[in-house]
Amino acid sequence: MEWEPISDRLLRARFDSRYCKMTILQCYAPTNEAEEDTKDEWYKQLQYAVSKVKKDFTIELRNRFSALESEDGEGNEDNNNVEKTWGNIKVYKETAESVIGFRKKGDKQWITPQTWTKIDERKKAKDKLLSAKSPRLTERAKKEYKEKDLEVKKSARRDKRAFVENLASEAEMAAAKGQLSIVYRITKQLSGPRKNYTRLVKDKQGNLLTTEREQAERWAQHFEEVLNGPAPEEPADPEPLDDDLAINTDPPSQAEVLAAIKDMKRGKAPGIDMLHAEMLIADITTASRVLTDLFAKIWEQDTIPRE
């Protein structure tokens, strides 16, 4: 799609692949022996390259919201519809797919694209199950989800078996050629990460408890002593309030929504709406405005979106 040589050490490229759009930053960082000015300049250029992705997302997001507002216009009855407003907020997801794309699923390299397709189908079936309203639709969606889940497990087992067999064949060939480093790498890959073992449990006298039953009894004894404290000598007797508390029953203000967005934690998994915290924080002004409008309509009409 496009590429930009930022410097002789940094390149930014944008690709439109078959499955997603992707931005890649190719970096060649200075070594520790380089001058401080050179390293500072390189990090400034890297920050510029990263922020440019955020800038592209913000511009595209504002353009899409402006187009939606122009289409709706003033006096349109659908403007007060909660479902309509929530549908407009899905622009975040569409913009992220268009500008940022999806992260490549590389955590389990033995899973084939066919299995990833089945996993996506199972996810859609799970979303349908969670959004079902009537018992009849729930039962139908549950049956569909079980079928998709069974297909995913069968396909994943088949992929894992083929992957392990290929690694075993590669290890045999490497051992025959005397390439022990490859054999060690494959063995480590198949054995998986080092597992943490259960910590030792001792009784009050410091004796080690070796059976699960003794350990469970010791934990029960510990929590019984910690949680079951003596009753207070004087029971609580709070004085009644003379005046009613001044509780604000107005819809959430934009300042409150803005503060809530700022407090959101980054790097967390999204819900079924697929709205990441980073999407809202990227353009916090637009996010607070559209969410305040949505919350006000939900507050006044006493209804929530179906999805």
Of 195, 213, 247, the one marking the end of a domain is 195
Q: Any idea what the Cα angle at residue 282 is, between residues 281 and 285, rounded to 5°?
A: 70
Structure tokens at 190: 């198949």
**130 and 112, same domain (yes or no):** yes
**191 and 114, same domain (yes or no):** yes
**145 and 175, same domain (yes or no):** yes
106 pLDDT more than 60: no
Q: Examine residue 32 and state whether it is found in any structural domain, yes or no.
A: no
Torsion of CA 263, 264, 267, 271, to 10 degrees: 170
Q: Examine residue 102 and state whether it is found in any structural domain, yes or no.
A: no
**187 and 206, same domain (yes or no):** no
Give the pLDDT confidence score for residue 165 in this predicted structure: 92
* Greater pLDDT, 101 or 41: 41
Out of 30-34, 53-57, 189-193, 243-247, pick the least confident: 53-57
**208 and 224, same domain (yes or no):** yes
* pLDDT tier, 6 (very low <50, low <70, confident <90, very high otherwise): confident
Give the pLDDT confidence score for residue 240 in this predicted structure: 80
CB 42 within 8 A of CB 29: yes
Mean of the pLDDT values across residues 29-48?
83
162 pLDDT more than 90: yes
* Greater pLDDT, 5 or 137: 137
**128 and 180, same domain (yes or no):** yes
Q: 267: alpha, beta or left, given left = phi > 0 and alpha = psi -120 to 50?
A: left
Neighbour-count burial of 191, counting CB atoms closer than 10 A to its CB (0-12 exposed, 13-18 middle, 19+ buried):
exposed
What span, in angstroms and rounded, lies between the C-alpha atoms of 48 and 6?
9
Give the pLDDT confidence score for residue 103 in this predicted structure: 58
Q: Examine residue 205 and state whether it is found in any structural domain, yes or no.
A: yes
Q: Examine residue 70 and state whether it is found in any structural domain, yes or no.
A: no
151 pLDDT more than 80: yes
Q: Examine residue 48 and state whether it is found in any structural domain, yes or no.
A: no
**205 and 152, same domain (yes or no):** no
Tally the domains of the chain.
2
**154 and 209, same domain (yes or no):** no
Q: Find the largest Cα–Cα distance for the chain.
A: 88
213: containing domain: 201-230
**219 and 183, same domain (yes or no):** no
Of 144, 168, 195, the one marking the end of a domain is 195
DSSP state for residue 34 in the 8-state scheme: S
Of 144, 175, 195, the one marking the end of a domain is 195
**151 and 220, same domain (yes or no):** no
* pLDDT tier, 145 (very low <50, low <70, confident <90, very high otherwise): very high
CB 92 within 8 A of CB 275: yes
Q: Examine residue 132 and state whether it is found in any structural domain, yes or no.
A: yes
**190 and 212, same domain (yes or no):** no
3-state DSSP helix/strand/coil % of the chain, to nearest 5: 60, 10, 35
Q: Examine residue 3 and state whether it is found in any structural domain, yes or no.
A: no
Q: Examine residue 130 and state whether it is found in any structural domain, yes or no.
A: yes
Task: Give the contacts of 100 (CB within 8 A, at least 6 positions apart).
Answer: 21, 23, 53, 57
Among 75-84, 129-138, 157-166, 284-293, the range with the most confident prediction by mean pLDDT is 157-166
**150 and 126, same domain (yes or no):** yes
Question: Is the full-model pTM beyond 0.75?
Answer: no
